[in-house]
Amino acid sequence: MASEEASGSPRRSRREPEGRAPRQDKYSVLLPTYNERENLPLIVWLLVKSFSESGIDYEIIIIDDGSPDGTRDVAEQLEKIYGSDKILLRPREKKLGLGTAYIHGMKHATGNYIIIMDADLSHHPKFIPEFIRKQKEGNFDIVSGTRYKGNGGVYGWDLKRKIIRLYRKEVLQKLIEKCVSKGYVFQMEMIVRARQLKYTIGEVPISFVDRVYGESKLGGNEIVSFLKGLLTLFATT
C-alpha cells in the first residue's frame, strides 16, 4: 500500500532554543533478522558505506529472533568489526513478530530518526541518503519508499514484501502506541494511523529486489494472518 504526501497547511520547523547549537541528526536503523546469515554481512556493509560516504551519523540495531542458522554469531562478529557504537546486537530468544521487533529495537535506539527496513536486501541502502534529503526538504514526519512513483521499480518482488521507511523517533513512538498489529501488517497499519493523526508523509521512488539468499519468511500461516490483519485494520479504521 503506497503512501501519499499529505497536504494541508505548512508545518513549522522544529527549532532548537536560541543560544543552543543545533543537535546533529542521528539515524538508527532497526534491522530485524531471522535466518539472514548470508545477507547480514552484505546489508551491514552497504549501510555503513552509504552512511559513511554521506557523512551521516548512524547506528544499526540488529534484532535477531533466535535464528537457527547462526545469524546471531555473524552479528556478533560484525559488532566486533565495526564497533559496538555502530552495530548494536539486541537479540531475542525466539520469533515474536515484526511489530514487537521494532518495539524492542526502539528501546535501544539513540537516534532522533528511525529507519526500518528488511535485512534480506530487498531494499538497497543507497536510497537512504535520498530519504534523508526528502525529509529535510519537506520537513516530513515520515518518508516512505514507493515503487509506484518516478523511477521506482520492482525485480522479483511481490506485494508481501515490506517497505523501507524513515520516521521521526517521537512519531514512530506515538504510532507504535496506537498500533494493534504485531505481524507483517504492522507497517501498513502504521501508515494508516499516521494519516489519522495528520502526520506528513513524503515519498521516494525506489527499486525493490526479492531475497538474495534464503527463502521468504512468510509461510502459509503468516500469509493467512497477514490477510486477517488487513481485514481487521480496514474494519476498525
Return the closest-CA partner of residue 27 out of 69, 7, 55, 63: 55
| Residue pair 218/160 in contact by the 8 Å Cβ criterion | yes
* Cell numbers for 19: 543560544
What Å distances lie between residue 226 and 72, 146, 184, 223, CA to CA? 26, 20, 6, 5
Closest CA to 162 of 147, 178, 140, 142: 147
| Cell of residue 212, nine digits | 538474495
Mean pLDDT of the chain: 78
Task: Tell me which residue of 164, 158, 183, 198 sits closest to 233, measured CA to CA.
Answer: 183
Q: Where are the alpha helices (DSSP H) in 55-140?
A: 71-82, 98-106, 128-138
What's residue 62's pLDDT? 97
Asked if residue 181 lies in contact with residue 229, where contact means CB atoms within 8 angstroms, the answer is yes
pLDDT for the residue numbered 53: 93
The b-or-e profile of 188-214 (16+ CB within 10 A means b, else e) is bbbbbbbeeeebbbbbbebbbbebeee
In this predicted structure, what is the pLDDT of residue 137?
95
Element (H, E) at 99: helix 98-106
Residue 84 cell numbers, joined: 559496538
DSSP H or E stretch at residue 60: strand 57-64
Q: How many residues belong to the chain?
A: 237
Below-70 pLDDT ranges, the chain: 1-23, 147-163, 182-184, 207-237
pLDDT of residue 136: 96
What's the pLDDT at 152?
A: 45
pLDDT at 178: 83
**Could you tell me which of 186, 205, 51 has the C-alpha nearest to residue 118?**
186
From the list 192, 194, 188, the residue with the least C-alpha distance to 170 is 194
Grid coordinates given for 105: 529495537
Q: What are the cell numbers at 58?
A: 548512524
92 pairs with which residues across the strands?
65
| pLDDT reported for residue 26 | 97
Q: How far apart, in whole angstroms, are the C-alpha atoms of residue 164 and residue 162?
A: 7
d(CA 90, CA 116): 15
| Dist CA 25 CA 135 (whole Å) | 12
Q: What is the pLDDT of residue 111?
A: 97
Q: What percent of the chain has pLDDT over 70?
A: 68
